[in-house]
Structures are given as structure tokens and as C-alpha cells.
A and B are shown apart, each in its own frame.
Chain A
Amino acid sequence: MAELLELSVAAAAERISAGEISADEYGAVWREAAAGDDLNAYLWRGEDDPAASDGPLAGIPVAVKDLFCTEGVETTAGSRILEGHRPLYTATSVRRLREAGASVLGKTNMDEFAMGSSNENSAYGPVRNPWDRERVPGGSSGGSAAAVGGGLAPCAIGTDTGGSIRQPASLCGIVGLKPTYGAISRYGMIAFASSLDQCGPLTRDVTDAALLLAALQGRDPCDSTSVGIEGGVEAPSREDLSGLRFAVPAELAHDAIEPGVRQVFEQTLARIEELGGAVAETGLPHAEHGISAYYVIAPAEASANLARYDGVRYGMRAGEAGDLIEMYERTRADGFGDEVKRRIMLGTYALSSGYYEAYYGRAQKVRTKIADDYGAAFAEFDFVVTPTSPSVAFRLGEKTDDPLAMYMNDFFTVPMSLAGIPAISIPAGLAEPEGGGPELPVGFQIAAPAFAEQRLLEAAYALERTIGFDSSPPRSGALYVAQGNKKRTGREGDAGG
């Protein structure tokens, strides 16, 4: 049985399609593994519709971030304000996975409304990093990343607005792909920042990421901004990098990066050259303003997207309110966590009359400049590469009192989101955290031009082969029992499949 857990998604789907193993058997093994969740990775686990025994994802159970609407199954976006909310419909991404033969293994924990880089902003307690339970898994798709990294799911989907797939993938030692904006439908994905949000896979290897992306991508009539990837996506097969040019941002030399992370990054550059790729520096002069622009644009959009949570039609409603305005205020005061409130206030301010040009208008100009920088870089290079995160996984509570330090986790991932281009994080090695301790995974980020996902996956695949990263965290950590987690109650099994 345990050997089934070792199979890649691609291998398992192939065997299920060939009738060598049954979808039921494979699903049961994973349900049992998921039931052993000691990371607070899942908010709900349940019996999904039986998985299909054919299709490219035949029999594959997928962990789904709790930001995706699933009909009849509680979908909270990690927020108290949506506690008990059972959507009337299913997100296009989840529907597509099911159409490819997959089933939903569970709904994963996340930072509230996808706002966070450590998963400590969940209303349902933090998620633990499978490599060290005292550390964060990253965020906001921390539950999905921890589930895959901790052996609680064969694969997962998450969402990435400024790094929310790539950064937790990096911190949990797995592969995380943010596709081009518009590659995958956003319909049914609870909105944080609509011009940036994008669904993507979190998997153990690049081939599995390609397999999930192939099923997820495509134009959706329910999402006017979706276009799909022309020509589709195939399993990558490239074994070398000859003729491919990799750009390293010149500014990287001055950036605050943990020494261990920098070392793994440089080792990976050397591997690229060993595989025949060319590495050179290029200027991306506006990337350093990415965080500033992002933390204006994303909160501005969020302030409008989250205004609908007013207690009137669904979700939580504060009782005992005297009038309408008081009901709005109390519902939102009780229902939203601190980080969400902070961003709503930031965004409301940035859009206010008299400040719009100075903040939102200017941030949009920076966004255009960053996109132009990438356009110029891709005229000479095939890829831009950086570390995914400036550090390995940090300790729970380490940055919760310092929002700016927390925001800097997204320093390397935000620019690609602003430019709308695809980027992948693959595990590149291990490094000792600052302050010592057992070694932890380090992610390597590769970005490509818009809709060049196939090229991106081919390069990532070739590199992954030569890195040979063992994605299994040390098992000893599994003995740690999380305590003091504010676990939700009454969720398991109450959704009736």
C-alpha cells in the first residue's frame, strides 16, 4: 500500500488507466494518508464523487485550496466571515480536474482570503511545515503545499496573487507553478486581487505540474479574462538546456538573501551551465518597486472584492445590530482578521478621491514599467531566474508582528505576478536556516514570457533531473503533535460528499 503513496501522479494515473491498480484502492490509500493530517493542512476532508478510471488524471485525488468554490461543500477562504458557507456552484478549475478523472481529496487551509505569506492568517489556525513543525509552510496556499510536501496528498491546486503558490512550494520542498494570467479560469475562485489572482498546481515534480496544468488550462466562457494556452500543455521531456539563455537580475547582488539560499541558487546556476544553458546578468531596474506597487494594487482590488461580505446574503452575520450600517460594521469587524482589515483599509485609502493618482495611478505605471522590463529581458533571454524566497521557512510567530518583513517574502515572486507572466518554483536543494537548525528546502524560480508554459516546463524538467531533489521531508518530524491549534470542529463529514 505504502508504495502507492510513492508514485508520481503521472505514474499513478497511467497505472489506473491501464487497470493495473484500481482508482478506489488508490483513493483509499490517499484518504487514509490525509486522515493523518498533523499539520492542520486540511479544513475539510471527505468523500468526493468516485474518481473516474480513465482520463489523464484517472483516479487522482487532489487537495484543493479552500478558496475554490465546491458545490455543497463548505468553502471559507480561511475566513470566519464565510464560516458555514456552502457554495451553490463549483469552480471551473475543480470541474475541469474532475472532467479529467480526478476527485477532490479535501479542502486545504490557507491565509484568510489568500492574504499572507506564512499561513498564520488563517481563521482556522496556522499550518505546520512538514520539514519542521515549528516553522511556517509559507502562504497563502500553505495548506496545499504542506499537504503535498508532508505526504498528505499526491498533488494540490492553489492560487498565486503575488507568490502564494511559489513561495509555499519553495518552503515545503515541492514544485509550484503560477501560470500566465488568463491561462486558467478564475470562475469560482474567491477573489483577492482580480488582476493578479491565478490558479496553479502544487506537485511533487515538474511532470505532475504539467499534467495538472494541461487539465486546468483553457478558455472559460464564465471568465472574460481567460484565454487558455494555445496548443495546450504536454508532458516535458527535455534533458538538456543547450541553446537556452537564462537571465539573472543584476539587482540580485544587493538584495537581502539568506547565505544558504544564495549558495543553493548559485549551485543551481552552475548546473544550468553544466546542462548547456547560458547564464548572464540583465537589468530589471523596476522589479525592486514591485512590492510597493503590489501592496497598493492588490489591496485596492481587495477592498472592492471583499466589500460584498456584509452579512446580508451568506456567511456570518453579527447579531444584535441596531441598524443596517451597524450590522455591516459589526459583521465585518468580527468576521475579518487583522491582515484582511489592514489591506481593506490600505486599498480604500489608495482609491480615495484625491489620493487615487498618487497611489493607484502611480502603482499601475510601475506595473507597466515592470512588464516592460521583462519584455526587454525576454528579447535577449529565454528565462529570468531568481531564488523563489529570500529565506527558507521561518519560525511560527517570527514575523507576525512585522507586516513589512512578512511582505518581503514576496520580493522575488511579486514582479512576475505584476507582469502577468508564468513562473515556476522547483526545489533546488537544502540550506541551514539563519540561526542554525536542520536543513530546509530552497526553491529556485524560473520565469518565462506570457504563455510560454511549455518552454518553462521543459527547462524546469531538465533542471529537476540533474538536481535530483528528494522531496520527502525527514520522517522524524511527524512525531510532533501540534498543540494549541484552533481546529475547526464539526466540519469533518458534515458535507455529505
Chain B
Amino acid sequence: MAELEAVIGLEIHVQLSTRTKMFCGCELSFGDEPNVHTCPVCLAHPGVLPVPNEEAIRYALKIAAALGCEVAPRSIFHRKNYFYPDNPKAYQISQYDVPLAGAGRLGNIRIHRAHLEEDAAKMIHLGGSGRIHGSGASLVDFNRGGTPLVEIVTEPDLRGAAEAAAWARLLRTTVRQLGVSDVNMEEGSLRVDANVSVRPAGSEQLGTKTELKNMNSFRFLERGIEAELARQRELIAAGGTVVQETLHYHPEDGTLHPLRSKEEAHDYRYFPEPDLVPLAPTEEMLREARESLPELPEARMRRYREEMGVAEDAAAVLVADPEAAQYFEQVAEAAEGVEPRIVANWVTGELAAALRQDGGEGVADSRVEPRALAALVAMVQAKKISHGSGKQVLATLVAEGGDPEAIVEREGLAQISDSGELESVVAAAIDANPEAADQIRAGNGKAIGAIVGAVMKETKGRADGGEVNRLIKEKLGV
């Protein structure tokens, strides 16, 4: 049998971080006491009408611009009808056949559409399975109800679980950089569902897909898709056929379970929302969305790699974290005469490690001023201090901030530049390690480490490693 190729499309819900809800003036919140951010409109009291949130429209237009989507001159809101306690109107205001944004692209993946809608209220099912069936009682928190959402749908262009997760990360970074959402999967401000199918490699036809929900981290997204691909491949290998259904991911054990068909059997009876007029963005709104776009991850990656010569892994780490990227650029600008490549390695390597050790705060919140890190890296590069001393100074900077030159002075870390002094230390180290010296003479280059270590110990790391190496070899005549 031909190899079965994975075909994956994603449906992403992004909660917008506007001040107020999509169709009323209630403030958005996360983690507040239940049902305090409510009003007659978002509770669907008789007689109320929705009024679209201009800020949400501007945010959605930014997302559309970042994804290179075509914006519809007049998009239409529809009512999507269903009875459920999380939906007080018994219809969700969404967009249907004329969405705000059409075809676009992010990376290699084509965007099918992006539209605006409102979020449902949050339900908590007590007891039982954590779902409404079998639970003793269900509670509704309307704080979330009416939060603006942008739903982004990709074409089925993804070919593997890892690729899907990587692309979802790129999307998250892109949206985060726009400043229009917290894009936090654990908190639900970014929700990614996957449509998964397989087909014989090389085939143009799509296989029957299943829809995967409830994967609330990138790791779960990848695992869920992997599990479903494996299930579909086994099923087909055993002569079975895939049935179109919605599957719920269980993070506890990584398994997928079908939702009850009753929950799924919806006829949403979409029709145009008569309470709203078509959404026709002005030229000014479109221009503002385009012009406000920051440098997006793809372009930033290109610039870091091609113009600044940053190594690929360091560039990837920086691009994924806009705050770290901004910090990196501030350090690179302040560190005159130091290659950006070196600065990037310090930010993503030594600094990140020191911060992890210190308790894990991000670079932007750390006590290490960009100027301070720039000065430190410059000192190491100019061999004023050793790399080891540099790390020691960095640990001090992380713990208490301050000026690296003062720390070097205070702690006497200035590199030993007097070669007479260094020579005597090296000589003493060789004498103290005769076995290593013999091995070096015999051609075992690795044995030099023991003598270098002894020198470093004696000088408390203040010696220049390169110079120490040179002197040892010189003295041993190799």
C-alpha cells in the first residue's frame, strides 16, 4: 500500500485584547469573580441590540493585514442559531458567506479566511466527566460571553503534526507582535482546532477528515494530531474507513474521544444578522492597519539571518519572543564593535541561562540593562575579562543589576594581561601536572584541559584561555 500522507488544516480562535466586548460596553477580564462583567446586552435581555466594537474591527483588520488577506469591502454578520446555556441569545453573531478577510498566507501555509465573531460564555460542569453529560450541575460565567474573537481558517496545507505545531507557534508570535491578543493557549485566548485526514502520497483528493478539539497547548496540539494520524493510518491499513466526526483531546492520557453525536448534530440555520449593517472598513481604517504592522516574524528572521549574521537557532529563539528580540536589538546597538551574532548568542545563551537560574523571568523584566549587557560583551570580546569572568559578572548583574565595569573592578576580575605573571602561573601548573604534560607531549591534545583548568583555578578565571593554551604549548614545545 502506498504511504499515507498527512493533510492538516487548522482553525484558530484568537481572543482580542480590546478594552470591551464585541457588541457591548462590558470590560474584558480574565480570572475575575464570575458574572461581574455583564449587562443587558451580553445577557441577551429582551429588547437589546448589538453595537460592533470599533477597536475589535481595527484589531481584526491588523490580523488580516499581517496574514496578507484580502479585506472584503462589505462583510456581513450572520446569526448562527443553537440552544446552549453558554449562548444567551441562542444565536452567536458570527460571519458566514462574506467574511471580513479572504485568502492570505503566513509562511508556506495559505489562509482560507479570517472573520470576526463573539465568544460564548464559560461553562463549568460539576462532577461527572467535566462535560455537560453526566454532570450533576453546570455553572455559567458570562464574563467571557461576548469577547471579540477572530477565527482564522487555513487551507489544508500542513503535512505533519510537528509542522502544524511549528506553524501555530509562528501564528501566535505574529499575532502577539500585533499587540491585539494575549494569545495564551492555557488561558484560552488562543484556541487551535485541527482538521486531520490522510491520503495516499501524491494524491490530489482529500480524505475524510476528523476535527480535533481541546488541545490547549502546542505540545498537546502536536500529540493530538500525531495520535489521530496514527489512528487513521492503522484504521486504513486494517481495511477500515475514517468517519467524519469531532474528537475531544484528553490531556491526562493523550487520548481522543468522539463527542456525542447529539452535541454535534447542528443545523445552525445561518441567516444575515438584521440588527447590524454590513461592515465596510474605511480607507483610513485599512491604511492604519497596514501602516501599524510591526516587523513580522518572517521578515525579522530574514533580517537577523541575512543582514545581521545571527545563527539560526539564536534567531529562531529571538523571533519567537518579540520582547527578547527588542532587547537583543537594544544590546546590539549599544555594543559598538561587537558582531550582532555574538550579542544574539549572549542574549539567548548566557543571559537566558542566568535568568533561568535566578528564577525564570524574561529578559525584558530582568535587572540587566541592555547597556550593561552591551558593555559586558564588549569587555569579553576585547579580552579585558575572560569568558568565565563574563558569566560571573552576568550572574551579579542578574541578581542586583548595576554596571559591569564597576563589578569587574570591585571583584578584581580584570584579565591578567601581564604575560610574566601568567607565565609563572602556567609553569607552576605544568609542574603540578606532570602526567598531563607527558600526555600532551605524546600528542594527546585533550590532556591540555587539566593544565588550563589548574591555571584558571589559580587565577580565579581571570586568565585569557587562548593565551593560556598558547603558553602551555610553547613551554611543552608542541
Interface, chain A (partner B; CB < 8 A): 68-69, 75, 77, 82, 85, 87-89, 91, 186-191, 193-195, 221-225, 300-301, 303-304, 307-308, 310, 312-314, 324, 328, 348, 351-353, 356, 360
Binds A, one of B45-53, B241-249, B289-297: B45-53
Given the known interface contacts A221-B51, A224-B51, the answer about A313 and B43 at a Cβ–Cβ threshold of 8 Å is: yes
Smallest CB–CB gap between B42 and chain A, Å? Answer: 11
A-B contact pairs, 25 of them (CB 8 A): A69-B45, A75-B46, A85-B46, A87-B40, A186-B49, A187-B47, A187-B48, A188-B47, A191-B47, A222-B49, A223-B49, A224-B49, A224-B52, A224-B277, A301-B271, A301-B274, A303-B81, A304-B81, A304-B269, A308-B46, A312-B88, A313-B43, A313-B45, A328-B83, A356-B269
Leading 9 A-B pairs by shortest Cβ distance:
A307-B90, A195-B274, A351-B269, A194-B274, A188-B47, A190-B46, A69-B47, A308-B44, A190-B47
Smallest CB–CB gap between A295 and chain B, Å? Answer: 16
List residues of chain B with CB within 8 A of the CB of A222: 49, 51
One of B40, B49, B270 near A88 (C-beta < 8 A): B40
List residues of chain A with CB within 8 A of the CB of B50: 224
Smallest CB–CB gap between B476 and chain A, Å? Answer: 85
The distance in angstroms between the C-alpha atoms of A353 and B276, with both chains bound, is: 23
Q: Quick one: which of A77, A190, A310 has the most chain B CB within 10 A?
A: A310
A-B contact count (CB 8 A): 99
Smallest CB–CB gap between A485 and chain B, Å? Answer: 25
The answer to whether B275 touches A224, judged by C-beta atoms less than 8 angstroms apart, is yes
List residues of chain A with CB within 8 A of the CB of B132: 324
Given the known interface contacts A69-B47, A88-B45, A308-B88, the answer about A360 and B271 at a Cβ–Cβ threshold of 8 Å is: yes
List residues of chain A with CB within 8 A of the CB of B81: 303-304, 307, 351
List residues of chain B with CB within 8 A of the CB of A328: 83
Given the known interface contacts A301-B274, A313-B88, A360-B271, the answer about A89 and B40 at a Cβ–Cβ threshold of 8 Å is: yes
The answer to whether B91 touches A307, judged by C-beta atoms less than 8 angstroms apart, is yes
The distance in angstroms between the C-alpha atoms of A313 and B52, with both chains bound, is: 24
The answer to whether A304 touches B91, judged by C-beta atoms less than 8 angstroms apart, is yes
List residues of chain A with CB within 8 A of the CB of B89: 304, 307-308
Q: Quick one: which of A190, A193, A307 has the most chain B CB within 10 A?
A: A307
List residues of chain B with CB within 8 A of the CB of A300: 271
List residues of chain B with CB within 8 A of the CB of A187: 47-49
The distance in angstroms between the C-alpha atoms of A68 and B43, with both chains bound, is: 18
248-279 of chain B: CB within 8 A of chain A:
267, 269-271, 274-277
The answer to whether A353 touches B267, judged by C-beta atoms less than 8 angstroms apart, is yes
Residue of B nearest to A307 (CB): B90
List residues of chain A with CB within 8 A of the CB of B83: 307, 310, 328
Residue of A nearest to B138 (CB): A324
Q: Is B85 an interface residue (CB 8 A)?
A: yes
Interface digits, B383-400 against A, CB 8 Å rule (1 contact, 0 not)?
A: 000000000000000000
Q: Is B79 an interface residue (CB 8 A)?
A: yes
The answer to whether B91 touches A224, judged by C-beta atoms less than 8 angstroms apart, is no
One of A91, A195, A314, A352 near B269 (C-beta < 8 A): A352
Given the known interface contacts A307-B91, A310-B90, the answer about A352 and B267 at a Cβ–Cβ threshold of 8 Å is: yes
The answer to whether A304 touches B85, judged by C-beta atoms less than 8 angstroms apart, is no
The answer to whether B46 touches A77, judged by C-beta atoms less than 8 angstroms apart, is yes
Residue of A nearest to B268 (CB): A353
The answer to whether B47 touches A87, judged by C-beta atoms less than 8 angstroms apart, is yes
Chain A interface main SS type: loop
The answer to whether A224 touches B46, judged by C-beta atoms less than 8 angstroms apart, is no
List residues of chain A with CB within 8 A of the CB of B269: 303-304, 348, 351-353, 356
Extra contacts, 8 of them, besides A307-B89, A308-B44 (Cβ < 8 A), are A69-B46, A85-B46, A87-B46, A191-B46, A224-B50, A225-B274, A307-B81, A312-B85
The distance in angstroms between the C-alpha atoms of A88 and B24, with both chains bound, is: 15
List residues of chain B with CB within 8 A of the CB of A89: 40, 45
The distance in angstroms between the C-alpha atoms of A352 and B368, with both chains bound, is: 62
Residue of B nearest to A189 (CB): B47
List residues of chain B with CB within 8 A of the CB of A301: 271, 274
The distance in angstroms between the C-alpha atoms of A287 and B81, with both chains bound, is: 31
166-203 of chain B: CB within 8 A of chain A:
none
The distance in angstroms between the C-alpha atoms of A221 and B49, with both chains bound, is: 10
57-111 of chain B: CB within 8 A of chain A:
79, 81, 83, 85, 88-91
One of B48, B79, B276 near A224 (C-beta < 8 A): B276
The distance in angstroms between the C-alpha atoms of A301 and B89, with both chains bound, is: 13
The answer to whether B47 touches A91, judged by C-beta atoms less than 8 angstroms apart, is yes
Given the known interface contacts A89-B40, A224-B52, the answer about A304 and B271 at a Cβ–Cβ threshold of 8 Å is: yes
The answer to whether B275 touches A194, judged by C-beta atoms less than 8 angstroms apart, is yes
List residues of chain A with CB within 8 A of the CB of B46: 69, 75, 77, 82, 85, 87, 190-191, 308, 314
Residue of B nearest to A191 (CB): B47
The distance in angstroms between the C-alpha atoms of A458 and B47, with both chains bound, is: 32
The distance in angstroms between the C-alpha atoms of A221 and B138, with both chains bound, is: 36
One of A68, A87, A194, A195 near B45 (C-beta < 8 A): A87
List residues of chain A with CB within 8 A of the CB of B277: 224-225
The answer to whether B44 touches A313, judged by C-beta atoms less than 8 angstroms apart, is yes
List residues of chain A with CB within 8 A of the CB of B40: 87-89
Smallest CB–CB gap between A212 and chain B, Å? Answer: 20
The distance in angstroms between the C-alpha atoms of A308 and B276, with both chains bound, is: 18
The answer to whether B90 touches A225, judged by C-beta atoms less than 8 angstroms apart, is no
Smallest CB–CB gap between A240 and chain B, Å? Answer: 39
Residue of B nearest to A68 (CB): B47
List residues of chain A with CB within 8 A of the CB of B90: 304, 307-308, 310
List residues of chain A with CB within 8 A of the CB of B44: 308, 313
Given the known interface contacts A188-B47, A304-B79, A352-B269, the answer about A225 and B88 at a Cβ–Cβ threshold of 8 Å is: no
The distance in angstroms between the C-alpha atoms of A188 and B274, with both chains bound, is: 16
The distance in angstroms between the C-alpha atoms of A320 and B327, with both chains bound, is: 62
The distance in angstroms between the C-alpha atoms of A300 and B272, with both chains bound, is: 11
The distance in angstroms between the C-alpha atoms of A221 and B276, with both chains bound, is: 12
Smallest CB–CB gap between B79 and chain A, Å? Answer: 5
List residues of chain A with CB within 8 A of the CB of B276: 224-225
Smallest CB–CB gap between B469 and chain A, Å? Answer: 75
Smallest CB–CB gap between B185 and chain A, Å? Answer: 29
List residues of chain A with CB within 8 A of the CB of B47: 68-69, 75, 87, 91, 187-191
The distance in angstroms between the C-alpha atoms of A217 and B156, with both chains bound, is: 51
Residue of B nearest to A90 (CB): B47
Residue of B nearest to A186 (CB): B49
The distance in angstroms between the C-alpha atoms of A310 and B44, with both chains bound, is: 11
The distance in angstroms between the C-alpha atoms of A88 and B132, with both chains bound, is: 30
The distance in angstroms between the C-alpha atoms of A88 and B85, with both chains bound, is: 21
The distance in angstroms between the C-alpha atoms of A304 and B49, with both chains bound, is: 13
The distance in angstroms between the C-alpha atoms of A360 and B270, with both chains bound, is: 11
Smallest CB–CB gap between B50 and chain A, Å? Answer: 7
The distance in angstroms between the C-alpha atoms of A53 and B83, with both chains bound, is: 49
List residues of chain B with CB within 8 A of the CB of A307: 81, 83, 89-91
The distance in angstroms between the C-alpha atoms of A194 and B77, with both chains bound, is: 14
The distance in angstroms between the C-alpha atoms of A91 and B46, with both chains bound, is: 10
The distance in angstroms between the C-alpha atoms of A328 and B87, with both chains bound, is: 13
Interface digits, B18-44 against A, CB 8 Å rule (1 contact, 0 not)?
A: 000000000000000000000010011
The distance in angstroms between the C-alpha atoms of A85 and B132, with both chains bound, is: 29
The distance in angstroms between the C-alpha atoms of A356 and B272, with both chains bound, is: 12
Residue of A nearest to B24 (CB): A222
The distance in angstroms between the C-alpha atoms of A75 and B40, with both chains bound, is: 14
Residue of A nearest to B51 (CB): A224
The answer to whether A351 touches B49, judged by C-beta atoms less than 8 angstroms apart, is no
List residues of chain A with CB within 8 A of the CB of B274: 193-195, 225, 301
The distance in angstroms between the C-alpha atoms of A62 and B270, with both chains bound, is: 39
Residue of A nearest to B89 (CB): A308
The distance in angstroms between the C-alpha atoms of A191 and B276, with both chains bound, is: 14
List residues of chain A with CB within 8 A of the CB of B48: 187-188
List residues of chain B with CB within 8 A of the CB of A224: 49-52, 275-277
List residues of chain B with CB within 8 A of the CB of A91: 47
List residues of chain A with CB within 8 A of the CB of B51: 221-224
The distance in angstroms between the C-alpha atoms of A406 and B91, with both chains bound, is: 30
List residues of chain B with CB within 8 A of the CB of A193: 274
Residue of A nearest to B271 (CB): A351
List residues of chain B with CB within 8 A of the CB of A324: 85, 132, 138
